[in-house]
Structure 1
Amino acid sequence: MKSYKLEGRVINGLDDHVIEKGCVLVEQDKIVFVGTVEECPNLIPELVETIQIPNATIMPGFIDCHAHVVGADSQDYDECTASHMDLILNAAHDLGQLLDSGFTSIRDMGLFGPSLSRAVDLGLVRGPKIMPSGRIISVTAGHGDHGYQFSKAYLNEHSPLSVLADGVPECLEAVRTQFRNGAKFIKVMATGGVSSPIDKITDVQFSETELKAIVAEAERRGTYVAAHCTGTEGTLNALKAGVKSIEHGVMLDESCIQIMVENDCTLVSTLAISLGIPKMKAVLPAHIYEKGKVCAEKNLKSIEMARAAGIRIAFGTDYTNSKNTRYSDIGKEFEAMIEAGLTPMEAIQSATKNAAYLLKQSDEVGTIEVGKTADLVMVSGNPLEDISVLRGSEKIKIILQNGVLVKRSE
């Protein structure tokens, strides 16, 4: 493997300190030096490649904590009827677009995550490293029940996104099946949602008994449960059961905030979609628009409360590579976070340090520190002054993943 010397403004993801004339040295797959250009060790030029771009900013590789790479939306496949072979091949292609947008790691929620994770690790597929949940677990008639015209048995056979489980025995079977297939954490639908056609956003899905059984089973595997949460009551239900990751958290109240603080629970943002829906009436189905417009204002309040309480906010998008959620435009989430009141540094840390914590990989990635894996991103511009320099894949100029130069667009 080549050695690299990256020069530019360094945002390490660890704290608010910025090195304006900085240098990061990479040998093999590790970061071996972080400091100023003046302090940088002299290396034999033939053994190291120096990378410089105008007005460069160097950051840790970004992490999307809420991805759905099921290969359906980018080609308008019907996920309930399309061949799984078509879907997974398309998903493998889509992963490259995520990587090109600066995302060197993701948490993926869907059937193909474990297989895609292994393929990326083996070098067979170009894309982010993946922490997979396997299929999302939902109750019948819940947020994961997108094919109500089909039988429950058919959906559990064919859906690449979710599995339906009712009662503790089915919930345990669903959890154990995800682990059997390679899941590293579990995702559940604890409330209704915006995109599902047969529930309300305030619906409580899963009993507390069911959720506690799911959480206990995950904890026996040394991992945790993430919960889709829109309505308040269902969110409280999930928190009382012990989930560690609240996805969306649209309608948090003080009781939710208190438990999240006590349990060191992370809030995953997905703000670009939430704040974007009220502006998309012309292109969305009526049931999605009507439910979605209710959520935007409440979501802003939830973020404000979580931030004030010091709750860890991790970057997540809920993007699926649809026409409205292109992976090449996934950096919109950074802009949405600023709209919601976060500072540019907080937004960057949400996609680096905070996200790595949620992936249980803080000792490996998420910050630029000596000894950590060299997952790095370079852009031309200063995101602390203009966060939009992180928005599109064309603005991400240099990407290193595991010390390998996987994108160069100077």
Structure 2
Amino acid sequence: MEHRIDAELLIPGAGEAIAHGSVVHTGGRIRFAGPTAELGDEHRALEPTRVAALLPGLWDCHVHFAGIRGRVNTEELMLTPETLAVARGVKDAETALRAGFTSLRDMGGHGCVLAEAVREGTFTGPNIYSANQVIGQTGGHSDAHRLPYRWVTDPCRSGGTLRIADGVDECVRAVRLQLRAGAELIKVCTSGGVLSEVDNPVHQQYRDEELKAIVSEAARAERIVAAHCHGRAGILAAINAGCHTVEHGTEVDEETAELMAERGMVLVPTRTIYEAFRLNAAALPPAWRDRFEAMAERHLKAIGIAHRAGVTIALGTDLGTSDRNGPLSWGGHASELAHLTTAGLSPLEAIMAGTANGPGTLGPRAPRSGRLAAGYDADLLAVDGDPLADIALLADPDRITQVWKSGEPVHRHSPVAPDEAAVRSG
């Protein structure tokens, strides 16, 4: 059955917004998207659903289905029971879907099993594309430094979202283990990180031959490699190895930005996590609390540099804790849009980063998603205002009126009447 949605404002994801637009979808795919005046006779007869603004379902290209609470560090990632993390991940996925995010790229977490549960209908969640475990070197960002090394590297240890590999052969095997688990992409650390205390975000991790082996092995299975990197050395290493995306990119400068643009790489800046740590500095390792503010300022400049150089930017938040109602909690993903405008993107460009640019972070495995165009997935988001005039409304759950995934309604906001709100507050 065909369904028609009329919008006062249609934001297609790529291209200019359309006043008084319509989308017609059937079987999970869009049949028509454009001005209402251009509807064919067969579609004009359809009774429409009317909304204020309609745009593609949003993409968050950097989340973690880690299921951790309280402490935020690599040890917690290792020690949280996998079954508990997955159970928490179900609620996290549902929260993201209600926030208008119909597609998520899990950059180290339990997304592979959650994706299968969504596909089989066990619960209603977003499309999930997971890297499974994050691959890193001994003593690097994927190493839980405070835990015994023998335990962390035990090949019989099950679960966990981190994988240590050293040398070309181990790196190749680590990629194959992720593919065996159903990974849609590969995640590797080419620099240190903020949450691991021993390594340094400025330093390159992995030798060039190790990185190239990871990229080559992933490419044989048509998977791209996403590189966690903050420092310039790690960014250059990711570029030279042939990685497809740079995650974070704190020290992107004019030279590295030009190289990324030339090679068609994507930056997923994850500004949200920087702003969240500013509000929750206690969650940072003690060694980084004093240095984090300078790092955050450098990161904001890097986004602007990349944007001016023509680097494709895709929305990512790095949210991954299962705490509720905190700065690191799921559901606040759309705050990244306002952060991108602060860095220099226009509201329309920020929405493009959160829609049309998302699928490209999966390379050859990109789905036809993120756009309101014929033949694309009918993943849709309706809001009760104009996000081009006020980008922040997309982060307000009360302004999200409806969400569709593959054409099926998965969320409808029911505003609380004033008298009912008074009863609840009383």
Q: Structures share a fold, TM > 0.5?
A: yes
Measured against aligned partners, the alpha-carbon deviations of 1:344-381 in whole angstroms (never above 9, x if no partner) come to 00100001111122234666111100121101101111
> What is the SS of the residue equivalent to 2:273?
helix
Counterpart amino acid of residue 298 in structure 2: K
> What is the SS of the residue equivalent to 1:307?
helix
Residue 405 (structure 1) shift: 0.6
Say if 2:280 and 2:327, in contact at 8 Å, map to a contact too: no
Say if 2:300 and 2:343, in contact at 8 Å, map to a contact too: yes
- Listed as ranges, the matches of 1:133-212 within 5 Å are 133-154=131-152, 157=157, 160-212=160-212
2:25 alignment partner in structure 1: 26
1:38 aligns with 2:37: yes
1:71 alignment partner in structure 2: 67
1:369 paired residue among 351, 370, 373: 373
Call closer, same or farther: CA 1:48–1:197 in 2, change over 3 Å: farther
Call closer, same or farther: CA 1:253–1:67 in 2, change over 3 Å: same
Residue 31 (structure 1) shift: 1.1
2:111 paired residue among 87, 103, 113: 113
Residue 61 (structure 1) shift: 0.7
1:408 alignment partner in structure 2: 412
Counterpart CA distance in 1 for 2:133 and 2:35 is 45
Say if 2:13 and 2:355, in contact at 8 Å, map to a contact too: yes
Where do 5+ consecutive residues of structure 2 fail to align? 415-426
CA RMSD of aligned residues (A): 2.3
1:250 alignment partner in structure 2: 250
The TM-score normalised by the length of structure 2 is: 0.89
Residue 127 (structure 1) shift: 1.2
Call closer, same or farther: CA 1:112–1:283 in 2, change over 3 Å: closer
Counterpart CA distance in 1 for 2:388 and 2:283 is 33
> What is the SS of the residue equivalent to 1:368?
coil
Percent identity, aligned pairs only? 34
1:329 aligns with 2:332: yes
Measured against aligned partners, the alpha-carbon deviations of 1:48-67 in whole angstroms (never above 9, x if no partner) come to 563224xx110011111111
2:360 paired residue among 352, 357, 362: 357
Where do 5+ consecutive residues of structure 1 fail to align? none
- Listed as ranges, the matches of 1:87-126 within 5 Å are 87-126=85-124
Residue 396 (structure 1) shift: 1.7
Counterpart CA distance in 2 for 1:125 and 1:309 is 42
1:398 aligns with 2:402: yes
1:62 alignment partner in structure 2: 58
2:420 alignment partner in structure 1: none
> What is the SS of the residue equivalent to 1:353?
coil
Say if 1:10 and 1:59, in contact at 8 Å, map to a contact too: yes
Counterpart CA distance in 1 for 2:64 and 2:216 is 25
Measured against aligned partners, the alpha-carbon deviations of 1:126-167 in whole angstroms (never above 9, x if no partner) come to 211011111000111111223522324436625622111111
Call closer, same or farther: CA 1:338–1:271 in 2, change over 3 Å: same
Length, aligned pairs only: 406
Residue 385 (structure 1) shift: 0.7
Say if 1:376 and 1:400, in contact at 8 Å, map to a contact too: yes
Measured against aligned partners, the alpha-carbon deviations of 1:206-246 in whole angstroms (never above 9, x if no partner) come to 11111011111111111211000101112111211111100
Residue 399 (structure 1) shift: 0.7
> What is the SS of the residue equivalent to 1:68?
strand
Measured against aligned partners, the alpha-carbon deviations of 1:266-286 in whole angstroms (never above 9, x if no partner) come to 100201222443454466443
- Listed as ranges, the matches of 1:264-275 within 5 Å are 264-275=264-275
Residue 8 (structure 1) shift: 2.7
Say if 1:192 and 1:199, in contact at 8 Å, map to a contact too: yes
2:419 alignment partner in structure 1: none
1:240 alignment partner in structure 2: 240
Counterpart CA distance in 1 for 2:36 and 2:169 is 60
Call closer, same or farther: CA 1:6–1:72 in 2, change over 3 Å: farther
Call closer, same or farther: CA 1:293–1:44 in 2, change over 3 Å: closer
- Name the stretch that deviates more: 58-67 or 73-82: 73-82
Counterpart CA distance in 1 for 2:4 and 2:71 is 37
The TM-score normalised by the length of structure 1 is: 0.92
Say if 1:399 and 1:406, in contact at 8 Å, map to a contact too: yes
Segments of 4+ moved more than 6 angstroms: 74-77
Counterpart CA distance in 2 for 1:313 and 1:43 is 38
> What is the SS of the residue equivalent to 1:91?
helix
2:300 alignment partner in structure 1: 300
> What is the SS of the residue equivalent to 1:71?
strand
Call closer, same or farther: CA 1:152–1:213 in 2, change over 3 Å: farther
Counterpart CA distance in 2 for 1:393 and 1:291 is 34
